[in-house]
Structure 1
Amino acid sequence: MSLSETVSEIEGLSDEQRECIENCNETAQICEWCADECLGDSDMEECARLCRDVADLTSLHARFMARSSNYSAQLARACADACEECAEECGRHDANHCRVCADVLRKCAKSCRSMADN
């Protein structure tokens, strides 16, 4: 079963919430990849640090949304802010992993911002 199929089984979620969960999980995976690729390059330390922070935040936010936590909206704001900052940092680098990561981060930031505003 794919992640989207699994998320679709969670009762009581709107389509927008399901999409945000999927975006958060994708972002966590991409950020882990980007951070790993940045390791060992002193010019990429900030990128790696931010990616690791975002990976942790987005995976936590996905879990909070799945269980309808009362803290989900607050965490959504933190996720959106962190994703935006990380996308800006990734956007400063020419590496393919950073470009891919920045695109995914922007999509996730938008989705999380929407969740924070609800």
Structure 2
Amino acid sequence: MSHENYQSIIETLHECMTTCNHCYDACLKEEHVKMMAQCIRLDRECADICAYLEQALGRGTPFVSELAQVCAEICEACGNECKKHSHDHCQKCAEECKKLVS
């Protein structure tokens, strides 16, 4: 299957990666950064797996199902953690992560 068949999910993965990277950076600037440690950690994990899956889909990986499952699990964990924080960047991140879970 060519990457054109995955264009919509590739775009969603890219948006999630970008949003998680923004959340990661914004969390590092929060006053109580230690309280944000798990959020920061999961932002990085989520951004990394989304970027990897985006690249893998673009090159036609035969491991789509396996990688998508791992990506969904990490996105769900990241979204659940971000939902716990009232910061706008965390809430936006949670929304983007949710798009990849369903």
Same fold judged by TM-score > 0.5? yes
Q: Specify the code of the residue in structure 1 equivalent to 2:35.
A: D
Q: Deviations over 1:20-76 (max 9, x none)?
A: 110101111100010111115111010010000010000000111111101222110
Please state if 1:13 is matched with 2:24: no
Please state if 1:26 is matched with 2:15: yes
Distance 1:12 1:57 in 2: 17
Please state if 1:56 is matched with 2:48: yes
Please state if 1:91 is matched with 2:83: yes
Equivalent pairs: percent with the same residue?
Answer: 32
Please state if 1:72 is matched with 2:64: yes
Bigger relative contact order (CA 8 A; separation at least 6) = 2
The equivalent of 2:94 in structure 1 is 102
TM-score (norm 2): 0.90
Q: Which runs of 4+ in 1 moved over 4 A?
A: none
State the Cα RMSD in Å. Answer: 1.2
Distance 2:36 2:47 in 1: 16
Distance 1:97 1:66 in 2: 28
> Any stretches of 5+ residues in structure 2 without a counterpart?
none
TM-score (norm 1): 0.78
Question: How many matched pairs?
Answer: 98
